[in-house]
Amino acid sequence: MRSGTYIYKDSFYHRFDDRAKLIFTLLFSIALIASPSFYPALSMMLLSILLSLFSVGFKESLLNFKRILLLVIFIIIFSPFQKRDAESIISIGSFMLISRDSLFSSVMILFKFVGISFIFSLLLETERIEDIVRALRYFHISYSASLTISMTLSLIPALSYRYSEIREAIELRKGKTELSTLFPSLVSLIVSAVKLIPENASLLEERGFTGEERPSYRSYGMNGFIFTQMLLSVIIPLAFFLWR
Amino acid sequence: MIEICNLELSYEGEEKIFSSLSLKIEKNKPVLIISEPGCGKTSLAKALTGTASKFHSAKVSGSFFLDSLDLFSLDVPERKNYVARSIQNPDEAILFPTVENEIAFPLEQRCLKREEMRKEISLLLDRYDLLKYRDADTAELSGGEKRRLNLATLDAISPKLFIYDEAFDELSASWRKRLLELMREKEYVLVLGSHYLFEYENFFESTYELCDGSLFPYEKKSVPFVFPESKVGLCEHTLEISNLTFSQSHRAMREKKTFDLTVPTMRIESGRAYLLEGENGAGKSTLARLITGILEKRGGSITYDGKAVDEKRRKTLVSYLFQNPFNQLYLPRVQDELMSVSSSPEEAERVADLFSLSLTDYTEELSYGKAKMLQAAIYYILNRPFAIFDEVDSAISYRDTMSLLTLYLERGSGVLMISHDERIISSFGGRIYHMREGRLE
């Protein structure tokens, strides 16, 4: 089974052209990854959060944050231990706990991770998968590659759905979800994911897929603002990229 | 004419499933094959579409002809012009996250013009009453709606031979009749089922029973269908629902129509059987999830022996057998699944016998029907005062359905059965609840 993350709303970002949005997401992510300075990275993270709040609302934005919370905690806990030979900020006796450089680098990792997660989540929440495929094909990405990307994008929420079903099944059976059941549920999830490979290949071929280029049932209508939107999609990330 | 001769099939390292299966299907003369779960119906469908040998390392031999065309000589994508199947597990059949996209894919593979595709999509959505779900997320559809989507996709492939693998399961009575009407329009039809439905009467030209790898003419059982009596006198516990309300909406849909569920009053006593029926998407499974505590109610009360019980407690009071059994199984083997709830290996062994299961089987390799039996066996061991069977009768025989119900009732469980089966509904002895567009009557 597949599942999408698209949420129907009428926000500014929803109305933004899918091709421009795809370009914006990619350039924004590159600019954020490449950003070496504190303020540009912070601004970009805040922009992605603001866009999310205005496009899908507080509840969905909070859910997006909850999904990455565990990784955020790991970054906060482990990153400060990285650079041992820099200026110390906190130390216990002669043991340096956190250095200035390691604190800076962990904050930067955090900004980049949160910003990229939000901007990609936003793409999937404001565009249907088939529209992302349409945009990819517009940029001459091959039919097979676009299909693979679309199936992968819809597989992630589907596996997350499957995982929640397993946890639900365990809770119904045991009355609670114990830590000891985490391993079997993860194994079951991996088995399901592996099983999906021949099943999906089989289903695709049974519906006639050969890998050859095929016409799409979706097309682009007239969009008078596409040039402006494309321009914005390039200028905004570029401005951040040049801000050092 | 479709002609299958001396079909043999075996999976790697396993015994032959068919030894010399032969079958003829004539134009406009639909054929029905009935068998117990795990006898090879789905394997037969996979062998004919070519996926058994290509994707499941099965050895297939014999011949399969449409008039003079050797279908076994064609690769899967080419063969789909002549033969295609509906998938038994509707969850497994879905490839795309949007209803429209799911139907569009086979049309794109047929290289239709864009306008033709759009017309065809609308036509198929209308035919299967899915127009309102055009932009809906496929994961948010009910079981019956997923089934209809799968059938619409099959029509979009447009083969000569349509194989319907347990396609009537999860469909409401009115949709079962409609599906038969739609089948009349197809050239060649092969239906695979686990029991002889009430609706099949006078439809099929020939009916066979698949048993021990061979086909035999099906003999209609003369034994009257007897529903087990409720175990009156065992009423020790009561689950009462009053003024229950719940609402949800499809998040991907342009039209934000909220689905509202209301249950003015409902009472389930242990040791008694109840039946819940209604159209697809009426809210039967949602009600089951609310009773079990998987979903959180918006208003109203649910009490157990007169005392209010929260979601967490209800999870331990009510056994809920999901519509799709595989969503409830997560351990590698049948033995592991049963041992996860048994107090001893002997108990697991005894229950496996009772539910006709083999302890050494791998759960992922079980047939849909066998998975249902395992799901029922797990909750049988847990022995809770109440149980909800969500369309447990699909993919298993009437005999097995009745034996499951009897086993649970004998233990003193109050069983709420969700079913679309006219035969079960008409002969049901207990109280019947009707769900109409989210309202329990």
Contacts of B51 in chain A (CB under 8 A): 202, 205-206
Q: Measured between beta carbons, which residues in chain A are less than 8 angstroms from residue B56?
A: 198, 202
pLDDT digits (tens, 9 = 90+) for B351-367: 999 999 999 999 888 88
What is the three-state SS of chain B? CEEEEEEEEEECCCCEEEEEEEEEECCCCCEEEECCCCCCHHHHHHHHHCHHHHHCCEEEEEEEEECCEEHHHCCHHHHCCCEEEECCCHHHHCCCCEHHHHHHHHHHHCCCCHHHHHHHHHHHHHHCCCHHHCCCEHHHCCHHHHHHHHHHHHHHHCCCEEEEECCCCCCCHHHHHHHHHHHHCCCEEEEEECCCCHHHCCCCCEEEEEECCEEEECCCCCCCCCCCCCCCCCCCCEEEEEEEEEEEECCCCCCCCEEEEEEEEEEEECCCEEEEEECCCCCHHHHHHHHHCCCCCCEEEEEECCEECCHHHHHHHEEEECCCHHHHCCCCEHHHHHHCCCCCHHHHHHHHHHCCCCCCCEHHHCCHHHHHHHHHHHHHHHCCCEEEEECCCCCCCHHHHHHHHHHHHHCCCEEEEECCCHHHHHHCCCEEEEEECCEEC
Number of C-alpha atoms within 13 angstroms, CB side, residue B332? Answer: 5
Q: Is residue A160 part of a domain?
A: yes
- The band of A192, judged by pLDDT with boundaries at 50, 70 and 90, is confident
Nearest Cα of chain B lies from the Cα of A209 at a distance, in angstroms, of 6
**pLDDT at B91 (0 to 100):** 84
> In terms of C-beta density within 10 A (0-12 exposed, 13-18 middle, 19 or more buried), how is residue B62 classed?
middle
A202 → closest Cβ in B55, B81, B322: B55
* CB < 8 Å to A170, chain B: 330
- A90 touches B: beta carbon within 8 Å: no
What ipTM was reported for this prediction?
A: 0.86
Smallest Cβ–Cβ distance between B137 and the set A3, A162, A195 belongs to: A3
Same-domain status, A208 and A239? no
CB–CB of B215/B418 below 8 Å? no
Classify strands B161-165 and B188-193 as parallel, antiparallel or unpaired.
parallel
Task: Quick: pLDDT tens for B3-24.
Answer: 999 999 998 888 888 888 999 9
Residue type, A222: M
Statement to judge: residues B267 and B408 lie in one domain:
yes
Query: Which residues in chain A touch residue B139, judged by CB atoms under 8 angstroms apart?
Result: 1-4, 157-158, 161
Assess whether A56 and A164 both reside in one domain.
Answer: no
**Residue A184 covered by a domain:** yes
The number of distinct structural domains making up chain B is: 2
Q: Residue A230, Cα to own-chain centre: how many angstroms?
A: 21
The pLDDT confidence band at residue A188, using thresholds 50, 70 and 90, is: confident
Q: What is the mean pLDDT of residues A181-186?
A: 77
Q: Do B294 and A191 touch (CB under 8 A)?
A: no
Contacts of A3 in chain B (CB under 8 A): 97, 137-139
Q: What is the pLDDT of residue A15?
A: 92
| Partner-chain contact A130 B98, CB within 8 Å | yes
Q: Is B298 a domain residue?
A: yes
Do B272 and B205 lie in a common domain?
A: no
B191 and B243 inside one domain: no
On whether residue B222 sits in a domain, the answer given is: no
Q: Are residue B162 and residue B271 in the same domain, yes or no? A: no
User: Does residue B339 sit within a domain?
Assistant: yes
Quote the pLDDT of residue A171.
85
| Most B-contacting residue of A149, A159, A163, A205 (CB-CB within 10 A), to test interface | A205
The confidence score (pLDDT) of residue A174 equals 80
- pTM for the model: 0.87
CB pair distance less than 8 Å for A2 and B96: yes
Give the model's confidence band at A84: pLDDT under 50 very low, under 70 low, under 90 confident, else very high. Answer: low
Per-residue pLDDT of A4-23, as tens digits, reads 688 999 999 999 999 999 99
Q: Using CA atoms, how far apart are residues B80 and A202, in angstroms rounded to an integer?
A: 11
B109–A129 C-beta distance less than 8 A = no
Residues B87 and B42 in one domain: yes
Give yes or no: residues A121 and A177 share one domain: no
Residues A23 and A128 in one domain: yes
How are strands ordered across the β-sheet holding B83-86?
B83-86, B161-165, B188-193, B31-34, B206-211, B214-217
Beta bridge partners of B303: B240, B308
Residue B365 lies in a domain: yes
Cα B150–Cα B153–Cα B156 angle in degrees, nearest 5: 160
Cβ A172–B112 below 8 Å, yes or no? no
Smallest CA–CA separation between B111 and chain A, in Å?
6
Q: Are A86 and A101 in contact (CB under 8 A)?
A: yes
Contacts of A203 in chain B (CB under 8 A): 87, 93, 95
A172 interfaces chain B, CB cutoff of 8 Å: yes
Identify residue B276 by its one-letter amino acid code.
L
Same domain, B244 and B209: no
Q: Averaged over A72-88, what is the pLDDT?
A: 72
- Together in a domain, A25 and A104: yes
Are B71 and B180 found together in one domain? yes
Residues of chain B with pLDDT under 70: 221-235
Does the distance separating the beta carbons of B254 and A1 come in below 8 Å? Answer: no
Q: Which residues of B touch A187 (CB under 8 A)?
A: 332
> Is A205 in Cβ contact with B251 (below 8 Å)?
no
CA distance B312 to chain A (A): 7
Residue B262 lies in a domain: yes
- CATH assignment of the domain containing B305: 3.40.50.300
Are B208 and B216 a contacting pair, CB within 8 Å?
yes
Residue A2 domain flag: no
Do B242 and B210 belong together in one domain? no
| Cβ atoms of residues B418 and B347 within 8 Å | no
Query: Is A112 within the bounds of a domain?
Result: yes
B246 domain-assigned:
yes
Note whether A165 and A226 are same-domain residues. Answer: no
Tell me whether residues B97 and A2 touch, CB distance under 8 A. yes
For residue A50, what are the domain limits? 9-140+222-244
Q: Check whether residue A40 and residue A119 sit in a common domain.
A: yes
Cα–Cα nearest to B120, from B145, B159, B156 = B156
Query: Is B226 part of a structural domain of the chain?
Result: no
Option in B93, B98, B292 nearest A128 (CB)? B98
How many other CB atoms sit within 10 Å of the CB of residue A236?
16
- Residue whose C-alpha is closest to residue B283's, from B326, B242, B311, B244: B244
Say how far apart CA A236 and CA A87 lie, in whole Å.
Answer: 35
What per-residue confidence (pLDDT) applies to A100?
76
A151 CB neighbours in chain B (<8 A) are 95
Residue B213 φ/ψ region, left for φ over 0, alpha for ψ in the -120 to 50 degree band, beta for the rest: left
Same-domain check for residues B212 and B288: no
Look at residue B430 and tell me if it is in a domain.
Answer: yes
Distance in Å, alpha carbon of A23 to nearest chain B alpha carbon: 23
Q: Could you tell me if A20 and A112 lie in one domain?
A: yes
* Same domain? A47 vs A126: yes
Tell whether A49 and A156 lie within a shared domain. no
Same domain, A41 and A115: yes
Specify whether B288 is located in the same domain as B201.
Answer: no
Total domain count, chain A: 2
Q: Kindly state whether residues A72 and A31 are assigned to the same domain.
A: yes
Residue B76, pLDDT score: 95
Q: How far apart are the first and last CA of chain B?
A: 49
Same-domain status, B416 and B374: yes
Statement to judge: residues B320 and B379 lie in one domain: yes
Instruction: Tell me if B163 sits within 8 A of B80, measured CB to CB.
Output: no
Q: Out of A207, A210, A216, whose CB is closest to B106?
A: A207
Q: Are strands B31-34 and B188-193 parallel, antiparallel or unpaired?
A: parallel
Cβ–Cβ < 8 Å for B77, B312: no
Distance from CA of B26 to the nearest CA of A (A): 23
Q: Which domain holds residue B27?
A: 2-217
d(CA B18, CA B35): 13
Which 102-131 residues of chain A touch chain B by CB within 8 A?
Answer: 128-130
Residue A98 above 80 pLDDT?
A: no
